[in-house]
Amino acid sequence: IFAPGQGKVGEMECFYLPIITKSQKTGFEPTKDLVLKPGSVFANNYLVQSELGSAAFSTAYRCIDLRSEEDDEGYQDEVCLKVIKNTKDYFDQSLDEIKILQLLKDTGRVQDNNIVAMKSIFYHSEHLVIVTEPPVIGLVLAIWPEIRSPFTSSTSARKRV
């Protein structure tokens, strides 16, 4: 089993998906829809600032990474959470997006082409979440492995908590 992008056609690849759950709680969420409200803390790590936008299979939120170090001015890192809607097809499509983003990061094409960098991924409240640099603008990855156009990112955006 190989790391993403390392296997040849038909070989097995593996990436790790952390699953964040509440201690001593089992069962399903009350609804399959997930709406994050400004001011709430998601997955015990992200302070929601605002919704950036919604598309067919996801909603993007601007958040503060509460585990990031404060800079000299008291600011913490700002990130974008791309919350995938809770269906098998959207989940599967997002796994391909994760493979592409990881491959771009591993090959240095993120920096070279001004592509928004994936910081992490996790599963929480029955939703796959892709954490990227802010903001996510037009993050549509429809082909594998060819990338037709660069995406934009801003790594200097930070917020004071």
Cα 122 from chain centroid?
Answer: 8
Residue 135 pLDDT grade (very low, low, confident, very high; cuts 50, 70, 90): low
- Which residue shows structure tokens 């004071």? 160
CA angle (42, 132, 111) in 5-degree steps: 160
pLDDT of residue 28: 77
Q: Pick 9 or 152 by higher pLDDT.
A: 9
> In the 8-state DSSP scheme, what is residue 85?
P
The neighbouring-strand residues paired with 47 are: 41, 64
Residue 63's alpha-carbon distances to 14, 41, 97, 124, in angstroms, are 28, 9, 21, 16
pLDDT digits (tens, 9 = 90+) for 80-105: 999 999 999 999 999 989 988 888 88
Question: How high does pLDDT run on average in the chain?
Answer: 82
Q: Which of 143, 141, 133 is nearest to 52 (CA)?
A: 133
Question: What is the per-residue pLDDT across 6-49, written as a single tens digit (0 to 9) for each?
Answer: 889 999 988 899 999 888 887 677 778 899 999 999 999 999 99
pLDDT at 118: 93
Q: What is the pTM of this model?
A: 0.79
